[in-house]
Amino acid sequence: MKDNNAFFKGMRDGLPIGLGYFAVSFSLGIIAKKGGLSPLLGFFSSLFTRASAGEYAAYSLIAVGASFWELFIISVITNARYLLMNCALTQKFDSKTNMFTRLLVGACCTDEIFGISIAWPGKLKPKYTFGATVVAGPMWALGTALGIIAGSALPIRYVSALSVALYGMFLAIIIPPAKRDKAVTAAVIAGFLFSYLFSILPLLKEISSGTRTIILTIVISAVISLIKPVKVEEEVAENE
């Protein structure tokens, strides 16, 4: 597939993600309003961050007057899972992909953008990820700005209910590969099960959601890879 076609396909696949982003980031905007952020500042903070848990934690700390270092540490913890996602994406690049392009793809990585990028058949076309981000990113930022404008006009529980669309979208990403591969099915089931156990068991439930995600991702993926390793195929040169 040509790069331009990949870009437009990314835009198409990024649209439903953007709609889900808009709903969720609207509720984030209400939290940001309590932290004293203006609509313009909220727009750009979301445009360059695009991390629901990370932004929620940051806006909540801003609202209580937390220090810069507290904001920095909580941002690293809540967003550390993106390091794992980008490590996985490095296996999808063509060997000729330059470092700058790899870094740009990494900057675009969110849970959902990662999901559709890692599912790209064969070597990842960076323009596909860029196309999805061009559509989804601004919608996330716009939702935050409008949420700040709305302020506390709407009850938070009503706005937060819109986030169900995002979870439904994420399920749509993981179910198709899970139906094709039993190992993926096992990993998904284990992820749900242990995430629930971590949320109710003593001591474990005190672990932050970001750290919990990192632990479960490493452990479950390691166990599955040992039980059913993926067969590595030799890379075939595309250019003769």
> What are the tokens at 162?
């819109």
DSSP label of 238: S
Task: Dump the DSSP string for 160-175.
Answer: HGGGHHHHHHHHHHHH
CB 60 within 8 A of CB 75: no
HEC string for 120-153: CCCCCCHHHHHHHHHHHHHHHHHHHHHHHHHCCC
The pTM of the full predicted model, rounded to 2 decimals, is 0.67
- Which residues, other chains included, contact 81 with Cβ-Cβ below 8 Å and sequence gap of 6+? 210, 213, 214, 217
**Would you state the pLDDT for residue 129?**
92
> What are the tokens at 15?
């649209």
CB 238 within 8 A of CB 94: yes
**Would you state the pLDDT for residue 239?**
36
pLDDT digits (tens), the chain, 240 positions: 556 688 999 999 999 999 888 888 887 887 788 788 889 999 998 998 888 777 877 887 787 787 788 778 778 877 877 888 888 888 888 888 899 999 999 889 888 898 889 888 888 889 999 999 999 999 999 998 998 887 666 666 665 665 565 566 567 767 877 888 888 888 889 888 988 888 888 887 787 666 777 788 788 888 888 887 766 444 333 333
**Would you state the pLDDT for residue 210?**
61
**Would you state the pLDDT for residue 169?**
58
| CA 176 from centroid of its chain's CA atoms | 18
The Cα–Cα gap between 88 and 50 comes to 19
Q: Is 181 left (phi over 0), alpha (psi -120 to 50) or beta?
A: beta
**How many other β-carbons are positioned within 10 Å of the β-carbon of residue 208?**
13
**Would you state the pLDDT for residue 100?**
92
